């Protein structure tokens, strides 16, 4: 069973679900922007809260999900900051990959201080995926192939060099003594495109995350060579998937998922959303919806989240420097 990272008042949360949350501040046209093509982690994140906010009656009207692919979040980030900064009805999904790109200046002139970080709602973990019939049966098979000829394996990742999917395989390459710059990458836009390219035979390996991959794992079309978690994940469909650590590669890569708002959303509007997410994240109902989407607990909102985001960006800047991605 999955457990929360910190104790949450479930009983209080369930009671609050039955109470209206500052109805006057509820946005009239709620929207969640998934900053990638349909089918990947951002889509999953938006659809999770789309279901949860309506089922819990926090929102009285349906939330629509729209897609704004480009730069693994950069296009959406710039659009919201520059064009819709005060739109309190618009949530935008982010992930650890978004923070990594911010750390490298990939979002243009805007940095991590340009938006109002609202909530983190769950976490997944990075993973290396192959087709079911791949000759690579474990992570070491892949590493040996890369050692022999780094350019012989076509690896698909969300985003270009420096993205979190790239970083995952760069860490594998580093552990194997291979220069990450010698690896052969195909840049794709999110987990949905990675799965399509992998199953279509256009790439041989997908650097992705476990939540994106599980539908294809359960259908028997894909296998996971390694998940980048500290220990095996305690879920029936995941318990047999080996970690990189147990295969001799000391690599962890959590993929936290959440939402931000535009920089000019008022304090009152922000407070409505924060209270809504605090209520939601404390409920058993949300935990069930999160589990159904193969996400693990990670609950954080408001100032605590803002502090976490800023620290993670600082950590990612150090990692980016280590790989020569920034000066």
Q: What is the CATH number of the domain that holds 167?
A: 3.40.190.10
Residues 45 and 87 in one domain: yes
Give residue for tokens 């209270």. 275
Count the domains in the chain: 2
Find where tokens 């992998």 sit.
Answer: 198
| Predicted local confidence at residue 327, as pLDDT | 77
**Tokens 């931000």 belong to residue:** 260
217 and 266 part of one domain: no
pLDDT digits (tens, 9 = 90+) for 35-53: 998 988 899 999 999 999 9
Instruction: Answer yes or no: do 214 and 154 share one domain.
Output: yes
Q: Has residue 34 been placed in a domain?
A: yes
Establish if 297 belongs to a structural domain. Answer: yes
Among 214, 247, 280, the domain boundary falls at 247
Domain endpoint, select from 247, 272, 290: 247
Q: Is residue 5 part of a domain?
A: no
DSSP 69: -
- The answer to whether position 134 is within a domain reads yes
- In a shared domain, residues 265 and 120: yes
Residue 1 maps to a domain: no
Indicate whether 93 pLDDT > 50.
Answer: yes
CATH of the domain at 84: 3.40.190.150
**Can you name the residues that pair with 206 across neighbouring β-strands?**
129, 156
- Residues 242 and 132 reside in one and the same domain: yes
Domain range enclosing 306: 10-124+254-322
Stated length of the chain: 327
Q: Are residues 191 and 140 in the same domain?
A: yes
d(CA 165, CA 180): 12
For the question of whether the overall pTM of this predicted structure is more than 0.75, the answer is yes
Q: pLDDT band at residue 232, thresholds of 50, 70 and 90? A: very high
pLDDT of residue 267: 96
Q: How far apart are CA 253 and CA 165, in angstroms?
A: 10
Contact 96, 164 (CB under 8 A): yes
In angstroms, the CA 46 to CA 64 distance is 9
Whether residue 226 sits in one domain with residue 166: yes
Q: Determine the 3-state secondary structure of 97 from DSSP.
A: helix
Q: What is the pLDDT of residues 279-317, one digit of tens each?
A: 999 999 999 999 998 899 999 999 999 999 999 999 999
Would you state the pLDDT for residue 7?
38
pLDDT of residue 137: 97
- pLDDT tens figures, 150-200: 999 999 988 788 888 899 989 988 888 899 989 999 998 778 889 999 999
Domain boundary among 247, 273, 303: 247
Burial label for 105, CB within 10 Å (0-12, 13-18, 19+), is middle
Using an 8 Å Cβ cutoff, are 191 and 213 in contact?
Answer: yes
Residue 327, domain member (yes or no) = no
Q: 117 and 150 in one domain?
A: no
Q: Please count the other Cβ atoms lying within 10 Å of the Cβ belonging to residue 85.
A: 16
Integer angstrom CA distances of residue 75 from 48, 72, 80, 105, 108: 22, 8, 9, 13, 9
DSSP one-letter string for 146-206:
HHH-GGGSEEEEESSTTSHHHHHHHHHHHHHT--GGGSEEEEESSHHHHHHHHHTTS-SEE
Specify whether 142 is located in the same domain as 106: no
> Which pLDDT tens digit goes with each residue over 98-129?
999 999 999 999 999 999 999 999 999 999 99
**238 within domain boundaries:** yes
DSSP calls for 240-300: TSPBTGGGT-----EEEEEEEE-TT--HHHHHHHHHHHHHHHT-HHHHHHHHHTT-B---E
pLDDT tens string 1-28:
444 344 344 344 443 443 445 555 799 9
* Same domain for 161 and 81: no
- The residue-averaged pLDDT of 124-150 equals 95
Flag whether 2 is in a domain.
Answer: no
Is 116 found in the same domain as 230? no
């Amino acid at each position: 069973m999955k457990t929360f990272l910190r104790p949450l008042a479930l009983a209080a949360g369930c009671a609050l679900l039955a109470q209206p949350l500052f109805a006057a501040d509820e946005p009239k046209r709620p929207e969640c922007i998934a900053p990638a093509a349909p089918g990947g982690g951002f889509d999953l994140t938006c659809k999770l809260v789309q279901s949860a906010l309506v089922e819990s009656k926090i929102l009285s009207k349906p939330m629509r999900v729209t897609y704004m692919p480009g730069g693994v979040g950069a296009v959406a980030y710039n659009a919201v900051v520059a064009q819709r900064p005060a739109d309190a009805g618009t949530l935008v999904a982010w992930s650890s990959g978004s923070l990594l790109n911010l750390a490298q200046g990939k979002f243009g002139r805007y940095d991590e201080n340009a938006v109002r970080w609202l909530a983190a709602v769950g976490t997944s973990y990075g993973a290396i995926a192959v087709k079911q019939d791949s000759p690579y049966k474990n992570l070491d098979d892949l590493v040996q192939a890369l050692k022999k000829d780094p350019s012989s394996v076509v690896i698909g990742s969300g985003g270009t060099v420096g993205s979190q999917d790239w970083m995952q395989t760069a860490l594998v390459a580093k552990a194997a003594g291979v220069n990450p710059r010698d690896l052969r990458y195909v840049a794709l836009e999110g987990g949905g495109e990675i799965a399509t390219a992998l199953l279509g035979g256009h790439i041989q390996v997908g650097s992705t995350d476990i939540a994106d991959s599980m539908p294809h794992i359960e259908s028997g079309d894909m296998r996971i060579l390694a998940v980048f978690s500290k220990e095996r994940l305690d879920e029936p469909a995941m318990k047999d998937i080996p970690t990189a650590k147990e295969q001799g590669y000391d690599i962890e890569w959590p993929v936290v998922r959440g939402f931000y708002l535009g920089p000019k959303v008022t304090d009152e509007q922000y407070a409505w959303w924060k209270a809504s997410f605090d209520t939601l994240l404390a409920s058993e109902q949300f935990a069930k919806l999160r589990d159904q989407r193969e996400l693990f607990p990670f609950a954080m909102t408001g100032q605590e989240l803002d502090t976490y985001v800023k620290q993670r960006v600082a950590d990612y800047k150090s990692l980016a420097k280590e790989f020569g991605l920034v000066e």
